[in-house]
Amino acid sequence: MNIIVLTGGNSAERNVALASGRSVAKALRDAGNSVKVIDPIYGAAQPDEDKIFSDKPAIGKEFPTAEELHRYSSRKVMECINSDLFDNADIVFLALHGKFGEDGRIQSLLEMRGVEYTGSGVTSSAMAMDKNISKIMFNHYAIPTPKWFMLKKGDMAEQQVDENIKLQVGYPAVIKPNDEGSTVGLSIVQPDVEDVQLGKALSDAFEYSDNIMAEEYIEGRELTVAVIGGEALPVVEIKPKSGFYDYVHKYTKGFTEYFCPADLPDKLAEHIQKQAITAHNALGCEVYSRVDFRLNSKGEAFCLEVNTLPGMTELSLVPKAASAVGMDFTGLLNRIIELSLNK
């Protein structure tokens, strides 16, 4: 099969995407496929594969700043998709994350180009990337989700934000961009020190989006569920060795422990898996996704978000869950491709 692995891109999750792309390309090539790696930020004139994968700092250290990302042109992305690079592809495997990769824009360009691609379609990708819309849909389908409210850049002074947090979600509060992943721009503002932490948290989030979310922090356990072909894989529990599950803990080997299946009563695990499927379907997702939860001390699960293009690195959660049911990494990729070609 002729497969293009589309990776990199011009989002704050570029480094993560390149790590996913490298893993995916190697596995598909080892399985006997003809694989071409393309990074859309280079346009129609693609460098060799080694150059593509070298254009990133070490994953797990820092994500690119908004200023650094300005060097990548969206016009180059359109030039790339419209070029003859895609003429003989049977399918494009999307190893992209964040804006311009996971939010429906690349999916739209590929559909107009008449090229098959992996994962969810345009509308569901856009809805899942928009945390506010996702949570509105969760409420509609009776999926518990933490309380939240939205902030637009320039609309509210810090003191007013503080007052609204106290009234609507309480402290600790999660401050995050409305349309980023991998905890890019995310902070947890603690009670009693909010006067010190809130200003920086707002500044960090607004660096990556003009619309940010203030969300209730659910004290408890971090869980996630992969949904593939309409079925939920075992629940994975995530335990950072210190702090919270931020960008560094996600992508630095040894900083976090993972347990799959999670140590949960069977009925609770089944309930969370059903909630994951409901969330996946509520947003109209196709093929596969990863649904993130927090579990409080009362055993109540709260859905945070749905990831339509979850990570595919050696530390990624979907491959861990697939492995727990006897599906190796190549088998997982083949399943994603098979489902995508038949959606």
Same domain, 282 and 320: yes
Residue 195: its pLDDT value, please?
79
Residue 93 belongs to domain with CATH number: 3.40.50.20
pLDDT band, very low/low/confident/very high, at 57 (cuts 50, 70, 90): very low
Same domain, 231 and 177: no
Query: Could you report the per-residue pLDDT of 105-129, keeping only the tens digit for each?
Result: 999 999 999 999 999 999 999 999 9
pLDDT beyond 70 at 247: no
Same domain, 289 and 324: yes
Is 234 part of a structural domain of the chain? Answer: yes
Residue 309 belongs to domain with CATH number: 3.30.470.20
Same domain, 258 and 290: yes
pLDDT, averaged across the chain: 91
pLDDT band, very low/low/confident/very high, at 58 (cuts 50, 70, 90): very low
In angstroms, rounded to a whole number, what is the distance separating the alpha carbons of residues 38 and 45? 10
The catalytic residue among 22, 305, 316, 340 is 305
Residue 248: its pLDDT value, please?
52
The catalytic residue among 98, 251, 289, 340 is 251
Residue 4: its pLDDT value, please?
98
Query: Could you report the per-residue pLDDT of 30-42, keeping only the tens digit for each?
Result: 999 999 999 999 9
Q: Which of 72-81, 160-169, 326-335 has the lowest mean pLDDT?
A: 72-81
Instruction: Identify the domain boundary among 165, 184, 216.
Output: 216
The catalytic residue among 9, 10, 11, 13 is 13
Whether 182 is a known active-site residue: answer: yes
Q: Identify the domain containing residue 78 by its residue range.
A: 2-117
Higher model confidence: residue 197 or residue 60? 197
Whether 305 is a known active-site residue: answer: yes
Same domain, 106 and 223: no
Same domain, 256 and 203: no
Is 274 part of a structural domain of the chain? Answer: yes
Same domain, 108 and 7: yes
The catalytic residue among 15, 247, 292, 294 is 292
Residue 72: its pLDDT value, please?
65
Same domain, 234 and 315: yes
Whether 185 is a known active-site residue: answer: no
Say which residues have a Cβ less than 8 Å from residue 282's Cβ, sequence separation at least 6: 137, 138, 140, 141, 143
Report the domain count for the chain.
3
The catalytic residue among 11, 178, 307, 316 is 307
Same domain, 169 and 86: no
What is the average per-residue pLDDT within 79-108?
A: 94
Whether 42 is a known active-site residue: answer: no
Whether 14 is a known active-site residue: answer: no
- How large a percentage of the chain has pLDDT more than 90? 76
Is 188 part of a structural domain of the chain? Answer: yes
Whether 251 is a known active-site residue: answer: yes
Is 123 part of a structural domain of the chain? Answer: no
The catalytic residue among 14, 22, 221, 290 is 290
Whether 30 is a known active-site residue: answer: no
Whether 311 is a known active-site residue: answer: yes
Is 122 part of a structural domain of the chain? Answer: no
The catalytic residue among 8, 21, 121, 311 is 311
Instruction: Identify the domain boundary among 158, 183, 216.
Output: 216
Instruction: Identify the domain boundary among 167, 189, 216.
Output: 216
Q: Is 0.75 topped by the overall pTM?
A: yes
pLDDT band, very low/low/confident/very high, at 12 (cuts 50, 70, 90): confident
